[in-house]
Amino acid sequence: MNKIVGKEYLSDKVVKFEIEAPLIAKSRKAGHFVIVRIGKKGERVPYTIASADPQKGTITLVVQNVGKSSGKFCELNVGDYITDLVGPLGKATHIENFGTVVCAGGGVGIAPMLPIIEAMKKAGNKVIAVLAARTKELVILENEVRQFADEVIIMTDDGSYGKKGLITNGVEEVIQREKVDLCVTIGPAIMMKFVSELTKKYNIQTIASLNTIMVDGTGMCGACRVTVGGKTKFVCVDGPEFDAHQVDFDEMLMRLKAYN
Ligand code: FES
């Protein structure tokens, strides 16, 4: 059982947890995720590791309260235990010096983007973070992102913070201004679809971290399957990151609605 040692509200419905998990803290890399279950009959839900402290033996997860399982998670407090936590899962992000990297994170997708921004910066890239949310309160981890990114562009749907507009507006502004070698996008599936369509137009290599429904997280149940380049892939073992231009986002969006 993994103990919660820190809890902080990043917004009304978004909570940052620091959780004891010494072995995961030691071995995790940017892009890895864990699967968490709250309660014996709880649903198994994947969360990307936002950061880790190997000295303290803790990992940080950012949880958005959007339904029953995430709601139960958000009710936990410091001193409580997670029923079970498995990881690190998935393939780590491919990090190298690409040149200029645009990291486009939307909503709670900013949390899994944070370790990628840090790793890309440490590999020598110029990192431009485009962070987007519906409104000011939902722009999370801005200070943490600023520690590593060379530039941060904030976009809000309602214009309450940063610039008014969609994430694609922010990304296109950068593309029109300078040469972009790689784009990484994490956020709601519909957002990643539009970022991907934009960068395809400009022929910019783009990686999307997919957030499908998962059950076992080890490639056995098929719940997380997606079509990439016409082939079936499992997000949990083949991903979570894929060439965004090859992902069938329409099919993924349809499958995400399976339980509605
Ligand atoms: Fe079961 Fe990926 S979550 S195969």
- Render each residue's pLDDT in the chain as its tens digit; 260 residues: 899 999 999 888 889 999 999 999 999 998 899 999 999 888 889 998 999 999 999 999 999 888 888 999 999 999 999 999 999 999 999 999 999 999 999 988 998 899 999 999 999 999 999 999 999 988 989 999 999 999 999 999 999 999 999 999 999 999 999 999 999 999 999 999 999 999 999 999 999 999 888 888 889 999 899 999 999 999 999 999 999 999 999 999 988 887 66
Final residue in a domain of this structure, among 89, 110, 143: 89
Measured between its terminal Cα atoms, the distance across the chain in Å is 31
Give the residue, by CA position, lying nearest to ligand 1 atom 1.
221
**Which positions ≥6 away from 149 have C-beta within 8 Å?**
103, 117, 121, 127, 128, 129
Residue 212 and residue 234: Cα distance in Å, rounded? Answer: 9
The predicted complex's ipTM stands at 0.99
Cα–Cα distance for residue pair 98/195, rounded to 1 Å = 19
Instruction: For a ligand 1 pocket test, name from 218, 242, 252 the mutation site with the most ligand atoms within 8 angstroms of its C-beta.
Output: 218
CATH number of the domain residue 105 falls in: 3.40.50.80
Say what the pLDDT of residue 257 is. 81
CB of 240 within 6 A of ligand 1: the answer is: no
Number of domains making up the chain: 2
Instruction: Determine the atom of ligand 1 nearest the C-alpha atom of 222.
Output: 4
Q: Is 78 in the pocket of ligand 1 (CB under 6 A)?
A: no
**Ligand 1 center to 167 CA (angstroms):** 29
Q: How far is the CA of 154 from the centre of ligand 1 (A)?
A: 34
Q: Write the secondary structure of 186-229 as one string of H (helix), E (strand) and C (coil).
A: ECCHHHHHHHHHHHHHCCCCEEEECCCCCCCCCCCCCCCEEEEC
In a domain, 94, yes or no: no
Contact 195, 244 (CB under 8 A): yes
- Structural domain harbouring 24: 2-89
Q: How many CB atoms lie within 10 A of CB 131?
A: 30
Domain termination site, one of 55, 89, 123: 89
Kindly state if the Cβ of 239 falls inside 6 Å of ligand 1. Answer: no
For residues 81 and 11, the answer to whether their CB atoms sit within 8 Å is: no
